[in-house]
Structure formats: C-alpha cells, structure tokens
Copies of this chain bind each other. A is one copy, B any other.
Amino acid sequence: MADSASPPSVVKPRAISGFPEWLPAERLVEQRFLDIIRETFERFGFAPIETPAVERREVLTAKGIVDKEIYALSRLAAADDEDPSTDLALHFDLTVPTARYVAQHFNRLVFPFRRYQIQKVWRGERPQAGRFREFTQCDIDIIGNGALDLLADAEIPAVIDAVFSRFAADLGTGGFVIRLNNRKLLQGLLEAAGAATPAALAAALRAIDALEKVGRDAVAAELVRDAGLTAAAADGLLDRLAAVTDPAGLDGLAETALFEEGRAEVAQVFDGLAALGVPAGRVRLDLTIARGLDYYTGTVYETVLDALPGIGSVCSGGRYENLASTYTRQTLPGVGISIGLSRLVARAFEAGLIAPGPATPATVLVTVMDRTLLADSLDIARRLRAAGVATEVYTEPRKLAAQLKYADAKGFRYAVILGEDEKAAGTVQMKDLKEGAQTTVPLAEVAVHLG
C-alpha cells in the first residue's frame, strides 16, 4: 500500500561554479599551506589585519573605471516599502581594502607599517570553466609614511623565498623561481629603442606584458605597429630583454637616466637578497616582466613553480609610489606581493603535485570494544589530549572490526584497543594502522608512544 502522505520536497544541492569547496582531506592540506604562509609572514615581522568582506561602493570604485567584476549586496528580506539595495559590495582584492584601512587608521598605525592579510576575495564574473569567483589571497606589504627605503624591496622576495622553500620541503611543491624586474629598466630600454611618447611607451609595455602569452613574433609586430619602433629596434630590444638574467648583464645596455636609476636600484636589491641569505639563482632578473601598466613604479615580482609553469605566476607584486591617494592626502609609498593560494592549491591537486592525506587531524582513534569499559576508553582519550595528542573516541556502539574500518577510512595513524585483559594488566593494545603492527603498551606510557 502506498503511503498517502507525500514525501517532503528536497532541494538537491549542487556545486556552484567558480566557488571551490574541498573535502576534509583536501582542506587539511590547504590549511598546511595557509599555516606555512602565516607563520613565515609573522617570522618576518608582518602583523595581521583583517578587513570586512565588504567596502562601500564609492571606495571600491574610487579610482575610476574598475576592470574587475564586483558583487554588490542587497537585502533579500527588505520590506515592501524599503529600498533593498545597499551601498556595500564585496571586495575584489586586498589592495583596495588595505589602502582604505591605512588611510582610515593612519593616526593609530606605526610606520613603516608591515601588514599581512589572508582573506577571501570575490569577482562577479560570469561562470566560466576554471575561473574562480571566490578565492583566497595572501598579501604582505611594507608601507612607508612619505618614504620607504629600497631595502624593503629585498625583504619581500626573501619572505617569498622562505614561504615557497617550506612549501617545497613540507608539501612537495618542488623548485621555483622568483622573477624580478624594475619598471625603470624596462622603460629606459623602451625609450632608448625609440618609444618616445607616453602613448608609445604604454603600448610597448602592454605588448611586452603579453610576451609569454602571445610569443615573440606577435610582440615584435606590435612594437612596430603600436609603439613606433623600427623592426630592427624591436628585434634588438627583444634580444636584449631575453639575454639578461642577472644585474651584471645590464652593463652598457642603455644609457638613459631612468635606466641608470633602475640599474642602481636592482643592484641594491640583489645586495640585500644576498645579505638576507636568499640562495643565488633563486631570484632571476627578467626584463620582460611589466605587471600591468599604471600601479607599479619600480621593482616588480613574479613567482613560477618549476612543476607548474603553465599556470603562470602564483605570487606577484611590486613597488608603488602611493598606496592610497584616492583616500588620503598622505603620501604612502610601499612594496608588496600577493600569493594566489586557491589557484595554486587547485592546480597542484589537479596536476598530482600534491595529494590529499588523512581525512582527520587526529593521530589516534580510541576504539570502544567493550561498552562496559567506556569510561576507561574516555579516560585514555583524556590522557592523550592532555599530552597534546589529537585523539578521537569512536562513539557508536559497533563491532571492533567496523571501528577499525572507520579508522582506516579516515586515515588515523594509530588505533588504541582496550579489553578486560588489558584493563586488568593496566595496558592497552596499540595498533599501527600504517605498518600493521600491534603492540602492548602500559597505560601510563601510551601518550609517549603515540605523541
């Protein structure tokens, strides 16, 4: 007989394109990336800030045309006679919120202000394969009040070197190179090659910015067509850009004042890198890096993983003249960098460079073989936790075999088993789920063995 009551309706959940979501085993790996980033940022003296997910629209759009898609907020439950719209929108990066934060709290901050910020950002893109609409950025900046010494430009890649070296050692992401350029070098070379007007210079920078994407021939053609270079000058320029990989290679390359300024800056930054212990060769001078057109004014950085060259730079930034001119009349020069963590983690999983591990942060599962010994099992868990060992107790009344299957499925390293015999002897059975070995351990020593 059919049941006369109709089943309650169910809203079947499905993934939202562009909003990545991990299972616990994957999230635990992502957390290790985040922990390394935070620990390293703090070790270099960067202080944490967190800004709201939203800014006022006027703040987000203060610079004029915004090329980022922005999500605006409206109140879903506004009354009929209320305007549901708000003046709030989700931030699309962490640079604008930091600029607003520094301007707003200027009098309560100590400069140079060294801050890190690890937060989600949102882009209101149309759904597209592989394009994230929510992702985590991990930013550091050193911001001066009126001036900022060039030494800061060396510290930034030293931090990035420390972060990615720990990624490699602890998470297996492998080798990487930090590419460094100085916009003054590039502009000086372009001027020397014949890009005489600001418009020609901008066109040339735009062309070179696309070098990796479109290839040398297309860039050469663009330099001739849009920046007014002769074919020979364009060709010579591209040769020179490709040939240089360290400051020594800059000798005699151009003679403009701007180029010389850039050369002196780059030399100082490389000296700082050596003094900070960054291995030689880790930071490579790369004259083809332009990083956009109007924000950066000196040093610029990109970071590429040897194992994932196809995904491009996973950590980019540079030196800017003035962080917050749209929000304050204070002059705030700075230098910073941003790790695009969500894309890095997602692509590293896809490529098999990293893999999910256990689905639990705990090392030990305390099983409950005999429900009459429940209190003893709970006490073992208490001892282990007090000793700092992350421990779960199996709480359901099921057979030991089912409990051990659960331990395997979640990836615990050890299972603790307690029966009447062990209780009488003041011991427990300790099963190593990786090696398969099972040993008897005195109760008082269990934390030492499992720690």
List residues of A (270-289) whose CB comes within 8 Å of B's CBs: 271-272, 274-277
Q: Which of B52, B124, B275 contacts A19 (CB 8 A)?
A: B52
Among A73-81, A259-267, A299-307, the stretch that binds chain B is: A73-81
Chain B hits for A137, CB < 8 A: none
A8 at the interface (CB under 8 A from B): yes
- Copies of this chain in the oligomer: 2
- A101-B21 contact, Cβ under 8 Å, with A12-B327, A42-B362, A114-B392: yes
Contact with B along A52-87 (1 / 0, CB 8 A): 111111110010001011111111110000001010
Contact with B along A35-49 (1 / 0, CB 8 A): 000000011111111
Q: Are A49 and B66 in touch, CB under 8 angstroms?
A: no
Q: Are A69 and B73 in touch, CB under 8 angstroms?
A: no
A388 at the interface (CB under 8 A from B): yes
Chain B hits for A69, CB < 8 A: 75-77
Q: Which of B19, B47, B72 contacts A28 (CB 8 A)?
A: B47
A243 at the interface (CB under 8 A from B): no
Looking at chain A, what size class is its interface with the partner chain? 35 or more
A108 at the interface (CB under 8 A from B): yes
Residue of A48, A68, A69, A271 with most chain B CB atoms under a 10 A cut-off:
A48
Residue of A45, A53, A155 with most chain B CB atoms under a 10 A cut-off:
A45
Chain B hits for A319, CB < 8 A: none
A361 at the interface (CB under 8 A from B): yes
Chain B hits for A274, CB < 8 A: 375
**Cα(A69)–Cα(B189), bound, Å:** 57
A391 at the interface (CB under 8 A from B): yes
A31 at the interface (CB under 8 A from B): yes
Question: Can you sample 23 A-B contacts with CB below 8 Å?
Answer: A11-B326, A16-B56, A21-B52, A23-B49, A24-B48, A28-B48, A43-B390, A43-B391, A44-B362, A45-B360, A45-B361, A45-B392, A48-B361, A69-B75, A71-B76, A72-B73, A72-B75, A76-B124, A77-B124, A112-B395, A272-B374, A274-B375, A277-B379
When A and B form their complex, which 5 residue pairs have the shortest distance between CB atoms, in order from nearest?
A: A45-B392, A19-B52, A45-B362, A24-B47, A275-B378
Q: A16-B56, A20-B52, A148-B395 are in contact. List 6 more A-B contacts (CB 8 A).
A: A8-B325, A13-B328, A23-B109, A27-B49, A43-B385, A162-B385
